[in-house]
Amino acid sequence: MADRQTTDISEIIEKQRLTAFVIRLVLLSWIVVFFDGFDMNVIAFVAPDLSSLLHLNRLMLAKVFSTGLFGTMIGGFVFGYLGDRIGRRPSIILATASFGVLTFGLVLPHTYGQLLALRLIQGIAIGGLLPLCWVLNIEYVPRRYRSTVVTLIMLGYTIGNSFAGPFTVWMVPRHGWQSVFIFGGCAALLATGFLVLFLPESIRYLTTKNKRPELVAKIVRRLAPARPVDRADRFVVSDETGRGGEGFSVSMLFRNELRWITPLLWTAYMASSVAVFFGNTWGPTVLQTLGFSRSTAALAVAVNSLGGALGGLLLMRFTDTRGAISIAALPVVSVPILLTLGLTNLTGSAFLVLNFFSTMFIVGTHFGMHSIAGIFYPSAYRANGAGWATSVAKVGSILGPLIPGMVLSSRLPVKAIFTIFAVCPCVVGIAVVSIGVLQRRMSRRDAGLQGAHSVASLAAEGAPPE
Model confidence at 441, pLDDT cuts 50, 70, 90, reads confident
pLDDT in tens, 393-431: 888 877 776 777 677 777 778 888 888 889 999 999 999
Q: Residue 63: phi, psi to the nearest 5?
A: -65, -35
pLDDT in tens, 155-204: 888 888 778 878 888 888 888 888 999 999 999 999 999 999 999 999 99
Name which CATH class applies to 9-202.
mainly alpha
**Nearest-CA neighbor of 331 among 404, 417, 268?**
268
Which pLDDT score, from 0 to 100, does residue 5 have? 81
Instruction: State the average pLDDT over residues 53-78.
Output: 83
pLDDT beyond 70 at 152: yes
User: Among 2-16, 183-197, 242-256, which is the least confidently predicted range?
Assistant: 242-256
Model confidence at 452, pLDDT cuts 50, 70, 90, reads low
**Nearest-CA neighbor of 203 among 296, 138, 259, 158?**
138
Q: How far apart are CA 406 and CA 412, in angstroms?
A: 10
Average pLDDT in the chain: 84
pLDDT beyond 90 at 28: yes
Instruction: State the average pLDDT over residues 209-233.
Output: 83
Model confidence at 2, pLDDT cuts 50, 70, 90, reads very low
Instruction: State the average pLDDT over residues 358-378.
Output: 88
| Number of neighbouring beta carbons within 10 Å of residue 294 | 10
Query: Regarding beta strands 6-8 and 234-236, do their DSSP bridges make them parallel or antiparallel, or are they unpaired?
Result: parallel
User: Among 205-209, 260-264, 391-395, 425-429, which is the least confidently predicted range?
Assistant: 391-395
- Domain-wise residue ranges, the chain: 9-202, 250-453
pLDDT in tens, 103-124: 999 988 888 899 999 999 999 9
Which pLDDT score, from 0 to 100, does residue 27 have? 94
Instruction: State the average pLDDT over residues 334-361.
Output: 90
Query: Could you tell me if 270 and 377 are in contact, meaning their C-beta atoms sit under 8 angstroms apart?
Result: no
Instruction: State which of 147-156, 187-196, 226-235 shows the largest mean pLDDT.
Output: 187-196
Q: How far apart are CA 198 and CA 422, in angstroms?
A: 44
DSSP string, 4-31: PPEEEHHHHHHH----HHHHHHHHHHHH
Model confidence at 324, pLDDT cuts 50, 70, 90, reads confident
Which pLDDT score, from 0 to 100, does residue 70 have? 87
pLDDT beyond 50 at 1: no
More confident residue, 302 or 327: 327
Virtual torsion, Cα 378, 383, 384, 390, nearest 10 deg:
120
Model confidence at 98, pLDDT cuts 50, 70, 90, reads very high
| 5 contacts: CB under 8 Å, gap ≥ 6 | 228, 229, 230, 233, 234
Handedness of CA 94, 95, 100, 106 (dihedral sign): positive
> Which amino acid is it at 375?
I
More confident residue, 132 or 315: 132
Name which CATH class applies to 250-453.
mainly alpha
More confident residue, 445 or 377: 377
Q: How far apart are CA 185 and CA 199, in angstroms?
A: 20
Kindly tell me the number of DSSP H helices and DSSP E strands found in the chain. Answer: 17, 2
Model confidence at 466, pLDDT cuts 50, 70, 90, reads very low
Handedness of CA 48, 53, 59, 64 (dihedral sign): negative
**Nearest-CA neighbor of 156 among 184, 135, 179, 130?**
130
pLDDT beyond 90 at 301: no
pTM recorded for the entire structure: 0.80
Which pLDDT score, from 0 to 100, does residue 3 have? 57
Which pLDDT score, from 0 to 100, does residue 465 have? 45
Query: Could you tell me if 156 and 34 are in contact, meaning their C-beta atoms sit under 8 angstroms apart?
Result: yes
pLDDT beyond 70 at 449: no
Query: Could you tell me if 39 and 122 are in contact, meaning their C-beta atoms sit under 8 angstroms apart?
Result: yes
Which pLDDT score, from 0 to 100, does residue 66 have? 79
Q: Which bin fits 306, alpha (ψ -120 to 50), beta or left (φ > 0)?
A: alpha
pLDDT beyond 50 at 147: yes
pLDDT beyond 60 at 232: yes
